[in-house]
Amino acid sequence: MNAQLRRPMALIAGVIAALAICCGLMGAAHAGPLTAPADGTYLTYQYAGQRLYIGAIGSSEQGHVYCIEAGKASELSYSQEIALADTDQARRVAWLAEEYRESRDARIHAGIGVLAHRYFDLDANAWQSHWAVIQGQHPDLARTADELWNQAGQSMPASTQASYAYEEGLRSGTVSVGVKNSSGVMVAGVPYSVTLSGPAEFVGGGQRVQGVSADKTITHAWRATGEGEVSVSTTYQRPALQQLVSNQDYVRFAGNTDVPGSGVRFTVRKAFTPVLSTVAEQHVVDAGQPVADTVTSGVAGATDHWVPGLELNATGWYFDRIDPDALDGAISPEQGQSAEAFLDALASRGYTPAGYGEAVFDGPDQHATVQAHTADGEPYLAPVDGGFGTWVWAFERGRQSEQAREYMTQDVVTPFLEIPETNANRARVTVESTVTEHSATVGAELSDTITVSGFPDDHGSFDGDDSYGFGADNAYAQVRLWWAGDPDDPNNDEAYRPDTVAEPREDDNHRLLGVWEYPAVNGTIRVGGGAPDAHGEAVRITAEQHGWYVFVYSFAGDDRVMPVTSAYNDGWERTRVNEYDTPERPVITTQVGPETVNVGDPFHDTARITGDIPEGSFVVFDAYEAVPEGQEPGGNGKLVDAHRVPVDHTLPEQVVSSLEVRSEEPGLVYWRAALISGEGDVLATHELGVEGEVVTVEEPVEPVTPEKADPLPQAGSDLLAVFGVAVAALAVGAVMLASIRRRS
């Protein structure tokens, strides 16, 4: 600007401003006044006899204005604002104008003026002419302008940097944002914003945050609100440059504008899918033993992450008495099927839980060994009748805490009959047996009757299952016959009375006389007397020597049935063989009373004992639970179990009675009485089912209610009518009788 014109123009500034305003009202866009530049915002130079300004030519509310038409006379007003293109040059000049708005360093403002002319002068040739003069008068100004240019490049924002990091799986994390210059260096002090689009929000709420950049990235924490992809967009503010149209056009800082920065995308997932894996603590469990399972927590996949410390309650159901035919693979719940619905589906197939278990986990890879209990909280014990068993475990969403339900979308249920959690419960076999004669002489034929119960009904038919790791049934049991005594002295046989549970080793006084195989099934086995063994061979046993003859039943066991061996010292299983018969053997005669009763009525058994009775002897009564007619007795439970009644050894004959008993079930109750010596020898007994030792228990007969007679006629005319008919009938009868008499 011409310095000589400054004072006159200042005097008429008001007029010019008024004119500019007036022109604006007449249609000029964004016209406005300017004020004279402040001291310290420009340098002067002489050009063609004029004193001109380089630097701020004027000021406005938005800052200083810088000339872009060298050589033209300036005015303290403008008629129009024009937004300049968003270029690097425009941003740098705008940034410098705003950065040094409050500066009173004339050299700096002159440098900004140089840059404004260099990149935006409307007459490049005119500017070059002026610039040559300026450099001669201010030789350091070119360097100042270049330094300012570089400073703007280093300090001015050019882009953003955005990155993300996960903290708790895919459930939460951070977004880090920084503002960079054109060289990729972080720039501080730049306003920016970050916006999330998708199922996530910033901690503190909302999907948009704002901040001011620093010389390093700034992190903002986020958390998932669902599952899916989240896109992150950023904006940052950078300066804009504006052209003011006047007699001599100007440029000035036009404010900051929001521009898009870089963004990122990532996947989030608030919920997670926990899983349960289980292994049966014991692959084979004996009857009456507890059943336990080792349960392990986990997550379904790489995108599932357990909330740290979040407790989940697991529920287990144990199923027993499963048939071998069911071992054809696991039954899995349908997709999304609840535990309750899966249990209902299993129930429709005949599978209902017999045991239950619970466990609590607060993270993955945790283990809990859970022992099954019954519905009333008592320890569950494997059933006596055996069968296979398996667990089903579940995380039921409805049984979790309110917090946990936020992270579980549905129940998690394990399949039924999974191999690792399936076990075999071995049945317990019961053996009831008695020799035919408990006392015999040399040369007598010996035999034994053994009643076996407890085997699965299909025992012997299961070939095993390699997938589940269960072995095949052991199809045969053994019966072994032992002899014990003194081969040289019959009077010393008593010294070798069988008195141990375990079988002896063979020696001069103990010999194994025979071993026979029989099917390992329920029922009655006859050993000896010509009855065949499992292979069809007739078995005959002759007492060739005085001493003790003991039968031992043994089953080695398999994966479905426990091993069992009868006791070597079982008095029912031995025969005392003497060289000569003893004439005074005791005899027992029994009779139940009454032989027929109703359900719930009392009955008992009596035993008449005759003969020589050793001191210390007693009678033992047994009564078996009622069974249907045709079912073999001895393999079921007992109503009376070894009820002992002492006898008087001084009496040659006596009668003793059992206690009274009642049966709540109809059927046949079989009794057995035996005279036992003080040493445990069976002196006299009888087989099950002999005459007089069976009670028939019947359901009580409902009394027949007689039909009600027709009601009597009502009083009144109906009664009179009936009476009249009766009188008429009597009259007719009298007439007929008189007629008959007359004829006679």
Calculate the average pLDDT of the chain. 90
In 300-418, which ranges are E strands?
A: 312-322, 355-361, 367-371, 387-395, 412-413
From 94, 129, 155, the end of a domain falls on 155
669 in the same domain as 526 = no
Three-state SS for 118?
A: helix
Whether residue 159 has pLDDT greater than 80: yes
713 in a structural domain? no
Q: Are the CB atoms for 557 and 563 separated by under 8 Å?
A: yes
More confident residue, 716 or 473: 473
* Bridge pairing between strands 618-624 and 661-662: unpaired
User: What number is the average pLDDT over the span 116-126?
Assistant: 97
Q: Is residue 711 part of a domain?
A: no
SS3 310: coil
Q: Are residues 546 and 613 in the same domain?
A: no
Confidence of residue 327 (pLDDT cuts 50, 70, 90): very high
Lowest mean pLDDT among 31-35, 395-399, 477-481: 31-35
- pLDDT band, very low/low/confident/very high, at 7 (cuts 50, 70, 90): very low
Q: Does residue 26 sit in the same domain as residue 151?
A: yes
Q: Please give the helix or strand (H or E) that residue 648 lies within, else none.
A: none
Tell which wins on pLDDT, 675 or 724: 675
> Helix/strand/coil (H, E, C) string of 596-618?
EEECCCEEEEEEEEECCCCCCCE
In a domain, 110, yes or no: yes
Q: Are residues 142 and 209 in the same domain?
A: no
Helix/strand/coil for 121? coil
pLDDT at residue 29 above 80?
Answer: no
Q: Residue 726 pLDDT > 60, yes or no?
A: no
Which of 394, 426, 458 is a domain's end point?
426
Q: In the chain, what's the furthest Cα-to-Cα distance?
A: 192
Give me the mean pLDDT over the 481-485 stretch. Answer: 99
Does residue 462 surpass a pLDDT of 90? yes
What's the whole-number mean pLDDT along residues 29-54? 92
Are both 135 and 206 inside the same structural domain?
no
Name which of 158-167, 480-489, 734-743 the model is least confident about.
734-743
Mean pLDDT value of segment 210-229: 97
Q: For residue 672, what is the domain's CATH number?
A: 2.60.40.2550
Q: Summarize the confidence of residues 216-241 as an average pLDDT.
A: 97
Give the CATH number for residue 491. 2.60.40.1930
User: Region 189-198: what's the mean pLDDT?
Assistant: 97
Over residues 202-221, mean pLDDT? 97
DSSP string computed for 132-170: HHHHHH-TTHHHHHHHHHHHHHHHS--EEEEEEEEEETT
Least confident piece of the model among 2-6, 277-281, 581-585: 2-6
Measured in degrees and rounded to the nearest 5, phi and psi for residue 496 equal -115, 25
List, in order, residues 6 or more apart from 186 with CB less than 8 Å away.
Answer: 161, 178, 179, 180, 213, 214, 215, 216, 217
Contact predicate 694/592, CB 8 Å: yes
Q: Which domain holds residue 346?
A: 308-426
Does residue 719 register a pLDDT over 70? no
Whether 621 and 647 have beta carbons less than 8 Å apart is answered as: no
pLDDT at 713 over 60: no
Instruction: Report the pLDDT averaged over residues 367-387.
Output: 98
Q: How large a percentage of the chain has pLDDT more than 70?
A: 90
What percent of the chain has pLDDT above 90?
86
Residue 582: pLDDT band with limits 50, 70, 90: low
312 and 450 fall within a common domain = no
pLDDT for the residue numbered 1: 41
Overall number of domains in the chain: 5
The CA distance from 711 to 291, in Å, is 69
Q: 294 in a domain, yes or no?
A: no
φ, ψ at 150 (rounded to 5°): -65, -40
Residue 723 has pLDDT above 50, yes or no: no
Q: 431 falls in which pLDDT band (50, 70, 90)?
A: very high
530 and 450 belong to one structural domain = yes
- Kindly state whether residues 414 and 551 are assigned to the same domain: no
Looking at per-residue pLDDT, the higher value among 9 and 215 belongs to 215
Q: Is the pLDDT of residue 6 over 50?
A: no
Is 285 domain-assigned?
no
Q: Does residue 65 share a domain with residue 199?
A: no
pLDDT of residue 24: 29
Does residue 452 share a domain with residue 562? yes
pLDDT score, position 721: 39
pLDDT number for residue 633: 84
CATH number of the domain to which 242 belongs: 2.60.40.10
- Residue 709's pLDDT is 52
Confidence of residue 90 (pLDDT cuts 50, 70, 90): very high
Confirm if 111 and 141 have CB atoms less than 8 A apart: yes
Of 221, 248, 269, which closes a domain?
269
The yes-or-no verdict on residue 452 having pLDDT over 60 is: yes
In a domain, 710, yes or no: no
The model carries a pTM of 0.73
Shared domain check, 210 and 240: yes
| Residue 286 domain-assigned (yes or no) | no
Q: What is the rounded distance in angstroms from the CA atom of residue 42 to the CA atom of residue 52?
A: 10
Q: What is the pLDDT of residue 27?
A: 30
- Quick check: is 726 in a domain? no
Bridge-based pairing of strands 596-598 and 694-698 is: parallel
Average pLDDT of the segment spanning 687-715: 75
173 has pLDDT over 70 = yes
pLDDT greater than 50 at residue 18:
no
Q: 284 or 705: which carries more pLDDT confidence? A: 284
Q: Hunting for tokens 């008068």 — which residue is that?
A: 137
9 and 132 fall within a common domain: yes
Note the pLDDT of residue 720.
Answer: 36
Count of C-beta atoms within a 10 Å radius of residue 563 = 14
Whether the predicted pLDDT of 23 surpasses 60: no
